[in-house]
Amino acid sequence: MAMMGIVTEEFKEENYDYWKTCLQSYLVGEGLWDVVSPEVATPDEKHKSEEWKRKNAKALHAIQLAYGSKAYAKYKKMENVTAKIAWAHLVELCPSSSQHSDVTHDQQDGDKRPLPNEELYNAIENGEIEKVSNILKECPEATTRSVSSHGDTALHIAILCGKTDIALDLVKKMPPEGLEIRNTFNDTPLTLIAAITETTELAKAMLEKNQILVSIKGGKTGQSSLPVIVASMYGRKKMVDYLYSETPKHLLKGQDGVLLLNHLIIAGFFDIASNLLNWFPKLGIMADPHGDYALHKLAHKPSAFARGSKFPFWKKWIYNRK
């Protein structure tokens, strides 16, 4: 059961909007919203201050209490879970009697077999890779069908549960276009990977099968972002390095490029920011969708002006503008 001191009602699907508003109000009131807000980038491990760690721990604990132990059990199996990640996937943990469906709505009329959605979902969540494989042998089309009330495919669920071995096996079994499927939150599997983990193995496997994934935006309508931007927002350095190398540079010459640049600066990824400015110098004087400029972000990053640097990030950028 959820902790009533944080939210006034137990977390259920039917009261989700009210419940989330109450939880957000609590986090704002406690001064913890900055580590949860999707508009504030998560610093990488080297730049996480003690204050940030303290706030993140308090916010994550509050979210855990508000969820209730049963709903939050999934995240106990995942590594590097921040309060922001937990907040971003609140609905996907919502306990619901309609979590799984026996038959998908888009099943072809000629195929009346019920898809083993609940069995598949549970096998993934429990890490039973052999059972997952056996289910898919009996019903190969299940790899691209929804297995949750939020439109998640088996691959989405494997990523959310931190089951990399199962996820890699699913990627091998899925058709290339199946990797482009979005859930009801507009997230492709690659978008989830970009936010949740530093491990690039799964991202590489997906892009080797379908390179277009790196160009598909994910996230809420009006706030959707390229996978590389999502990774930068969550401070995933290794993932940013990889996705940046795979992202067609022409996609980064406008607003997406400005947004990426600003998040790179916030996260302290100055090497990538410098490379991006080499491609598109004008990004440094453009405002992102939130009205923020790179110079404003730099002003709050003392490490960008470090004396020990032979060629500081800011000096290189100014030099290139001449």
Query: Mind listing the pLDDT tens digit for each residue in 244-263?
Result: 999 999 999 999 999 999 99
Rg for the chain, CA atoms, rounded = 21
Look at the alpha carbons of 121, 127, 133, 135 in this order and tell me if their dihedral is positive or negative.
negative
**Average pLDDT over the chain, rounded to whole?**
78
The total number of residues shown for the chain amounts to 322
User: Encoding tokens for residue 172?
Assistant: 């091998």
How many CB atoms are located within 10 Å of the residue 254 CB? 13
Report which DSSP code applies to 9.
S
d(CA 301, CA 295): 10
Contacts of 29 (CB under 8 A, 6+ apart): none
Average pLDDT, integer, range 195-222: 89
Is residue 130 scored above 90 in pLDDT? yes
Can you give the pLDDT at residue 232?
92
Lookup result for tokens 């019903």: 139
In the chain, the amino acid numbered 79 is E
d(CA 318, CA 6): 48
pTM of this prediction?
0.68
CA proximity to 227, closest of 179, 278, 288: 179
**Cβ pair 274, 289 in contact under 8 A:** no
b/e burial code for range 17-39 (CB count within 10 A of at least 16 → b): eebbebbeebbeeeebbebbebe
Average pLDDT, integer, range 201-228: 89
